[in-house]
Every structure is written in C-alpha cells, then in structure tokens.
Amino acid sequence: MTSTDHVLTRAWPTCAFGAWSAAWIAGRCSPDDVADTLADSADLHVLDDRSGTDVSSAHGVLGLLGMLRGARRLSVRLPSAGAPHGLPPDDATTAAFAAGEVLLIDDGAPTPLALIPGEHDGSLRWRALRYGTSVPSSATAAAGQIELELRQAITTTADLITRIGGRTATAPADLRATLRAQTHRHLVDLPPHDDQRATRMIETAAQVESIASLAAGAGAGFGTTADQWSAGDSELRRLVTLARSARAAAVDRVIGEFLGVTW
C-alpha cells in the first residue's frame, strides 16, 4: 500500500442523505442506516436551523431527519458556475453555490426547505434555510443521453490520465492509488434499490470527476497556445459539470423510486 492509497472522506453528503432519507421515509431502512452512511462524510453532524419552522428539536442525524417531517418530494441539486440547476436568486442559492450542493425538501409549504452542508470545526454543519420563492423542477436530460455523454467522457479522461502522468513526477503506482482514492471519495453510497442505470451513472461520474479534477490540479494542458489552453480548461469544466449533473440525476432517480414522485 502506498502513502496515497487510503480512503478519503466521502464527498456529496446531500446525495447520500437524500437517497437514504427517501428510503427511510418509504420504510425501507432505519435511522441508524442513515446515520451509518453519513458517518462516511463526518463523525459529527450538526443542524443549524435557520428556516424559522422549528420542525426539529433533535440533534445530529435525528435532527436532520426531523427536517423531513411531512416531506413529499426531495431533490438533490449540485450547482456550479454556469450550471445553476434551476435555482432562483436567493440566500439559500448563494449558500448552495458555496457548498456546491443542496437537498431541497417539499414539505407542503409554499416554498421548499433547503439543507446545505458546510465544514465547521471538524464536524459537518448543515444549514436549514427556507426559500423565499418557489423552485422549479430541474431540467435534467434523459438518463440515456446522460449515459451516452458519460461514456464519451470516459474516452476523453483516458487521454487525460496520460497527460497527468506527463506533467507530474508522481510514480505511476502512486498516481493510480490517488485516482482510486479520489474516485472512491466521489462515489455515493446508495441504499439497496432496483435502478442499475443510476448505479452505473454514479460510478462513471465518480471516475470522470476524479480524473478531470486531478488533471486540472496537475496542469494537464491541451496544447501550447493560449487558445488551446483556454479550450482545455473549458473542456475540464464541462467534464466536471457533466459528472455532477449525472450524479444529481442518478440520486434523484433513486429518490423517485422510493417516494414514487420526482421533482
């Protein structure tokens, strides 16, 4: 085992919480199952309820689940620059952009709740905010189209791996270990479900984003001119955006499987 061959803290806690909480609402798992999954993201979860609804008085994961009391629909959004995923201008959207993720909760009120994670003193502090306006459904491409784009992206990232190796002194074995660790970090642990397409989308998105992120960090160029570098940077951003959109779509498919409704 190399120094880089280790398990990193899981990213995308909203995706894990959204999928497992949907399973919990459907009676398919226990609160302990949700807590065990979120432990991969942080040992301690803290709820900072700024929604003004006082729907949860518990602490930790039980407090988070309390925010879902009366939830009818859930939706994960992973916004980034140029890809707002339909989120309207709002304080909650500003926080969601800063975190790169948000779980929307339709609890029957005119506007949805938003659960947004953020690091704080080694724990994961979740802010609960209420949107001031309605949030439209996410305009997501069909799963078949997303899968096609992911397969095409894998071809692009295969070339990126070669570029990374040519721009770093890292030994090939260490580079492979780093890629494995980063890919594992970007995976989402889903509850038992029947949608194998969602599973494939999650796994492929993790590969694409980990390689694209490492390529960006290593300065893996696409040429020698300024225009070529600009085009290369744009391509890396496109790959990351694609991976995040695919991840959100896959998680929402699993949520829809459990709740019987999509946002």
- Find the angle CA(144)-CA(150)-CA(156) to the nearest 5 degrees: 150
The predicted structure's pLDDT at residue 2: 38
Residues 117/100, Cβ–Cβ less than 8 Å: no
DSSP 193: -
Q: What is the pLDDT of residue 145?
A: 92
**Per-residue pLDDT, 3:** 38
Query: Which tokens in the block code for residue 68?
Result: 């879902």
Paired tokens of 10 = 């899981």
The whole-number pLDDT of residue 35 equals 96
pLDDT of residue 72: 93
Instruction: Name 124's bridge partners.
Output: 45, 119
Euclidean distance between CA atoms 29 and 139, whole angstroms: 29
Q: What is the pLDDT of residue 139?
A: 73
Residue with tokens 């399973």: 23
pLDDT (tens digit per residue) in 207-226: 999 988 888 776 655 555 65
Give phi and psi for 80, each to the nearest 5.
-150, 170
pLDDT of residue 67: 92
Mean pLDDT in order along the chain per 10 residues (263 residues): 52 97 97 96 92 76 92 94 89 96 94 91 90 87 90 84 61 80 95 96 95 76 57 81 95 96 80
- Say what the pLDDT of residue 6 is: 42
pTM for this model (two decimals) = 0.89
Element (H, E) at 63: helix 60-66
* pLDDT computed for residue 121 by the predictor: 74
